[in-house]
Structures are given as C-alpha cells and as structure tokens.
Amino acid sequence: MADTLKDKKVAILVANEGIEQVELTEPRKALQDAGATVELLAPEAGEAQAFNHLDKADAFPVDRAVGDADAADYDALMLPGGVANPDNLRTHPEAVAFVRAFFAAGKPVAAICHAPWTLIEADVLNGRTVTSWPSLQTDIRNAGATWVDEQVVVDGGLVTSRKPDDLTAFNAKMVEEIAEGKHAAQHA
C-alpha cells in the first residue's frame, strides 16, 4: 500500500474553521501512507482550525488558498466533514468552483459526514447514490440523489461515508478509487 498512490497529488479542501479533526487527519494519513502528495487548501491562507465535535482541537497550516489553486494540478479531492466546515465552505464561490472542476474532469472525489453539503452547492449529486451524516438525507434527495444509510458508498469515482466510525472503510475505498484514476461515470 505504501506506493499505491505514488505520483498522485490530492487536494484536501476545508474551510478555515470547523473541520472535524479526525475526518481530516485520518484520511490525510491514509493518503500519505499510500504514497500520495497531499495539500491542504482553504478559502484563506494561514491556518485551518479543527474541532473534536464542538471542542476546539488542533490548527493545521494551509498549503494554499483555494482561489490560488487549479484543480488540473491534482489527481483527486478529499472533503472532510464537521458541521461548520462544509456549511462555511459552500459559501465561497471559488471553493464550489474548485469542487465542480473535479467532477467535470472525471477525477475521484471523497466526502465524509457533512461534506456532501459542499457537493450539493456544486450541483454534482443529481442521479447519484451517496451516503452522509443522516441529517443531510433530505438535502441530498432534494439535490436529485439517492441517499442510503451505508458505511461507504462508491458511485462513479465519488466515495461517500457517514461518520468517523466509518473511516477505516472510507479510507480504503478512497485510496482504491484514487489509484484507479479518472472515471468515465464521474460528471459535473
């Protein structure tokens, strides 16, 4: 597994505050352990503040502001959850456009917990089957997708998962989909 993703560059996109820490750190570790180069992007340069549920946790240095990044420079995208993180992220047009560009290019995207809110804003869920934290199911259905209560769901290069308890399965499927590369079924 150490070089499964050798020569792959993955963007992790977060808001500058409100990320569920374990949903950032565990997928990032899985990507790095598989050999990927990982960059943390956020709307603003500086730091991204993570949380353990509602308690402030660690701050992580942002590698690049999303407005200064080009989706063409990355092989895949990972979106951590946390309630505040995607709710904030979807208010930044440059972040939404960045997400949409991965779907337009057919590149793998992984999203856990509340992260599908950003996918809803990017208007990329119509016709897909996804999972998420249960409170998003109505939003997901209203976006034209089928919501299912499963540990991890893969739909044409899009990997979704429900919660931190699902991270082991989520990380394995995320690495697998990124290793496969572009997907014809991935669309904007």
The answer on pLDDT for 16 being more than 60 is yes
Give the mean pLDDT of 142-171.
97
pTM (2 decimals)?
0.96
In the prediction, which pLDDT does 186 show?
62
If DSSP codes are grouped into helix, strand and coil, which group holds residue 86?
A: helix
The answer on pLDDT for 23 being more than 80 is yes
Q: What is the C-alpha separation between 71 and 57, in angstroms, rounded?
A: 29
Strands 146-147 and 55-61 come out as unpaired
* Known catalytic residue at 113: yes
Catalytic site residue from 53, 92, 113, 183? 113
The answer on pLDDT for 3 being more than 90 is no
Structural domains in the chain, CATH included, are 9-180 (3.40.50.880)
| CB 146 within 8 Å of CB 95 | no
Give the mean pLDDT of 74-87.
97
In the prediction, which pLDDT does 169 show?
98
The answer on pLDDT for 185 being more than 70 is no
Give the mean pLDDT of 177-188.
77
Q: What digits encode the pLDDT tens for the residues 110-130?
A: 999 999 999 999 999 999 999
Q: What is the C-alpha separation between 4 and 28, in angstroms, rounded?
A: 14
The answer on pLDDT for 1 being more than 60 is no
In the prediction, which pLDDT does 56 show?
96
Give the mean pLDDT of 94-100.
98
User: Which tokens belong to 128?
Assistant: 């897909």
The answer on pLDDT for 184 being more than 70 is no
